[in-house]
Chain A
Amino acid sequence: MAHHPLYSDLCQIAGSKYVADSDFAVWAYAKDSSAYPARVPGIVVRPNTAEEVSEIVKLANQHKVPIVPRGGGTQFGGWPPGEPGKSICVDMTRMRRILDVNELNKTVTVEAGVTCAELEARLLPKGLYAHTVFSPADSVTIGGMVCGVFGGGGQMFAGLASNWPTIVGVKAVLPNGEVIETGTRTNPHAKMFFRSAVGPDLAGLFIGSMGIFGIITEVTLDLFYWQPHREVGAVAYKYERLDDAYQAIVKLGMHEPKLFSLCILFGLGPLAQTDWQLLYRAQGHSREELDRKLETTARIIEDTAPPDAWQPADAVGYATEFLLHGHDFPPHTLGMWTIMEFLCPRDNTLEIFKALSELIVEELRGWEDRVLSGGCSMFMCGEQHYLSFGLYHKESDPEAREKALSVSQKGNILGLEMGGFKLVLNKEGGDICAAMMPPAYSNWLRALKKAMDPNNIMNPHMLLLP
């Protein structure tokens, strides 16, 4: 088999052990975790350093060959197209060193390929943690989280919250191959210890960018002390009506100080038939503190709706069921997951939730056996709500796959039109959002991209860009 035209050059840069271009090797890099179609790169390279990444980018520029960066490969929005059969897929998972755990400045600096799970595993024994995504933590890389997962869902132990405020800065390779650092590293004598810098916050160019402005090679995150909670407990309630359950979640979210470490409203199984389940988990340094939190929680919940609207349920059973069905990645037994996720303001979360539910039920009429509308949830996420709807289908059923994707597309458009904010982007997911951008904003984005990447090599065709 003839090698990719840049095979030898890439071998020179990264070493032949870390370059692959056989048809099956590139095919294994053709999809993310979604049901969207495969897009096959021409060659895959696994660099070890920022300098190697820089050399790869310079080479790509020289030959005008597109680059598609890749972290854990677990996005749900459709794999970037690059230029099928020609692109260089830069697999960042070889760069997985934890560079600096600075307890004094409370920052941790890691290479982009470190997974969320590994970072957590390395930090917790030191009594520390950083905000990362919680699922699938085994695969999502920190680089992927920052540039692709749009901030992520937060970390289970600390309650859910957006990650964006805890990103201190990045080191990135620009489309011209130059390496830059943001934040306080704009003073070359300073460490990376603070997000703000002289001039605008250019770290934001990379956060959520899906790699269109460069390849992130290092990330610095805020570090928090992890105080082991000696006592963990939960309460659970079952509701027949979504409105009643929603009122409870709003009241709990408004309570200060926050009582929970996890609060989730979820329904499993076909949407039309689901009961609504509210799971509320709290932690305390003592049994008394935990009991106080749980009692306050129960009082708020029970005072929010008439007694016939809810009934106490098995918290452990709920937690297990939820973890099985949603948190720990969709179970293979249900099939491929097509997901619609939104960050919603409190004032119209319920309307969005209901409208999406109705749309899904209506769209799947007659398809119930082939596309399962199982699993929807509403998390507390800081002061907002995070909605998630999952559709399952058998990957071996192409018609069901098309149906799931079509419903997902309609649901995503509806959610955006109602004021939700989409979290899962990548190719198709990003295109839906980009199509709604005001012209002035998309022109600005286009101009920025053209100025930074004149050869359009860095993850082209994303966000409806050329």
Chain B
Amino acid sequence: MNTTGVIANSELERIREMAYACTRCGACREKYSGDMTHTPAFRVCPVREHNGGFEHHCARGKLQIAQGILEGRCAYSPELIDLIYSDPDCKLCTWVCNALPVLDPPMVWRAMRQDIVAAGSGPPPPLKEIDTRVREQHNVFGARTDRRAKWAQGLDLPGRGELLYFAGCYASYPQAGIARSTVAILRQAGLDPAYLADGEWCCGVAQFHDGSTALAEQAAKHNVELIASSGAKRVVTSCAECYKSLKLEYPDILGELPFEVVHVSEILADMLGAGKISLKAGLPERRVTFHDPCHLGRYCKVYEPPRAVIGAIPGVELVEMKRHRDYAWCCGNGAELVSSMQPELASEIARGRMEEAGETGAQALITACPRCVLSLERAARGMKVYDLTVAVARSMGLEV
């Protein structure tokens, strides 16, 4: 057996009860839903669907493997390590399993990855490269740190203020339009968002998931200290992954934060409700569908605010995909895990999602995460893909 170095399993041991909580019912393979009459059966795990459909690619099989590791029946071969890393942690299996807090399968994979990293046997090279970029340049692209705030050029954003916009890597570098749209909308509502400029670091989402916990903690401490020193009482993110990091991961390791974290969709819905902004124009596409980012939806349970916002765009009809809200299919990125480990698989997952979007008859897809936008845009085949902020800015007639 081609095994790696000795792996202590200390994190997996710590959640041993969870690894053994699976009753092997198989709902994580496909799901019919509690509504016995109207929801079509669907496959749960995008990775299993695209990798030959074997048990070891679904939660039930992987939990069995985790037990095998604890019992000494399985060993961490390079092939198994690749498997443990080729999961988007999209949490759809958690949702259909419906056994929280007793069982949350991605927590088990995360523990396994932490053990692999602690033993020096991971993460695999594509993710190690991302870790290196984050460690050295504080962004997932390895781009120059002093270019991080280039998106804000000419906006004259303050460094201090009660409301702070945390742009994240994607909106800071390749998708600056999202950051500029967010700021423009907030300003239109009479708010004056501050930002961290070049001091902002990657939120550490990939490191939280790939087992490089020390690096993730370093990012968390840095960002929280900087945000706190800015005087911010409220932090808004336009990225679902940043939102989940700040909202769930940071308090988990640092305790209660001295500021509130909101996703831009939540603040937009509130502002619309309060009449602080108004959407004037429609989009070129009349029929649109919404893709729930996993980190915004299943992780943080933010489902209605983006829909309320889309519903307020004049002349736009929102049509749901077959799998939406808790049941939404992943975009393929999965905290950089799948897109790094199996890029072709990530593309296939995204193509599947866009096909589903196409089945609704929608002419455009709106989502609320720059990373989802990127994944889905590449698979779009003619369908327009918007970030929510871009669509809203357009509807408000804002020049960004």
Report which A residues bind B (CB closer than 8 A): 1, 17-18, 20, 22-25, 27-33, 38, 44, 46, 72-74, 91, 93-94, 115, 117-118, 120-122, 124, 136-139, 156-157, 328-333, 335-337, 394-396
A1 in contact with B68 (CB, 8 Å): no
Chain B: CB-nearest residue to A324: B98
A31 in contact with B64 (CB, 8 Å): yes
**Which residues between 90 and 124 of chain B lie within 8 Å of chain A, taking CB atoms?**
97, 99, 102-103
- Residue B148 lies at the interface, judged by CB distance under 8 Å to chain A: no
| Residues of chain B with a CB closer than 8 A to A120's CB | 32, 36
Chain A: CB-nearest residue to B75: A23
Chain A: CB-nearest residue to B99: A332
| Residues of chain A with a CB closer than 8 A to B27's CB | 136, 138-139, 329
26 contacts across the A-B interface (CB closer than 8 A)? A1-B77, A20-B54, A23-B75, A29-B61, A31-B24, A38-B73, A91-B55, A115-B32, A117-B30, A118-B30, A121-B40, A122-B40, A124-B37, A138-B25, A138-B27, A328-B34, A329-B25, A330-B23, A332-B21, A332-B102, A333-B102, A335-B23, A394-B17, A395-B20, A396-B17, A396-B20
A91 in contact with B26 (CB, 8 Å): no
Chain A: CB-nearest residue to B27: A138
- Residue B83 lies at the interface, judged by CB distance under 8 Å to chain A: yes
| Residues of chain A with a CB closer than 8 A to B64's CB | 27-28, 30-31
B62 in contact with A156 (CB, 8 Å): no
- Residue B16 lies at the interface, judged by CB distance under 8 Å to chain A: yes
Q: What's the least CB distance linking B96 to chain A, in Å?
A: 8
Per the bound structure, the CA–CA distance linking A31 and B65 in Å amounts to: 11
Per the bound structure, the CA–CA distance linking A223 and B253 in Å amounts to: 56
**Which residues between 29 and 88 of chain B lie within 8 Å of chain A, taking CB atoms?**
29-32, 34, 36-37, 39-41, 51-56, 60-62, 64-65, 67-68, 73-75, 77, 79-80, 83
Chain A: CB-nearest residue to B2: A1
Chain B: CB-nearest residue to A137: B32
Binding site of A, secondary structure by majority: helix, strand, loop or mixed?
Answer: loop
**Which residues between 275 and 299 of chain B lie within 8 Å of chain A, taking CB atoms?**
none
Per the bound structure, the CA–CA distance linking A138 and B96 in Å amounts to: 11
Chain B: CB-nearest residue to A38: B73
Pick from B1, B20, B39, B77: contact of A121, CB below 8 A: B39
Chain A: CB-nearest residue to B26: A139
Chain B: CB-nearest residue to A27: B68
Categorize the interface residue count of chain B. 35 or more
Q: What's the least CB distance linking B70 to chain A, in Å?
A: 9
6 closest A-B pairs by CB: A139-B26, A28-B61, A117-B32, A332-B99, A396-B20, A28-B55
B24 in contact with A74 (CB, 8 Å): yes
Pick from B21, B30, B61, B65: contact of A395, CB below 8 A: B21
| Residues of chain B with a CB closer than 8 A to A73's CB | 24, 26, 55, 60
Q: What's the least CB distance linking B31 to chain A, in Å?
A: 6
Chain B: CB-nearest residue to A226: B37
Q: What's the least CB distance linking A74 to chain B, in Å?
A: 6
B103 in contact with A28 (CB, 8 Å): no
Chain A: CB-nearest residue to B63: A28
A27 in contact with B30 (CB, 8 Å): no
| Residues of chain B with a CB closer than 8 A to A28's CB | 54-56, 60-62, 64-65
| Residues of chain B with a CB closer than 8 A to A27's CB | 56, 64-65, 68, 73-74
Per the bound structure, the CA–CA distance linking A29 and B74 in Å amounts to: 13
- Residue B354 lies at the interface, judged by CB distance under 8 Å to chain A: no
A46 touching B52 in the complex, CB below 8 Å, given contacts A117-B32, A138-B27? yes
Per the bound structure, the CA–CA distance linking A38 and B36 in Å amounts to: 33
| Residues of chain B with a CB closer than 8 A to A17's CB | 51-52
A44 touching B99 in the complex, CB below 8 Å, given contacts A24-B68, A24-B80, A30-B64? no
Per the bound structure, the CA–CA distance linking A23 and B64 in Å amounts to: 12
B22 in contact with A332 (CB, 8 Å): yes
A115 touching B41 in the complex, CB below 8 Å, given contacts A24-B65, A28-B65, A333-B102? yes
Chain A: CB-nearest residue to B22: A332
Per the bound structure, the CA–CA distance linking A38 and B74 in Å amounts to: 13
Per the bound structure, the CA–CA distance linking A137 and B30 in Å amounts to: 10
Q: What's the least CB distance linking A64 to chain B, in Å?
A: 25
Per the bound structure, the CA–CA distance linking A118 and B27 in Å amounts to: 12
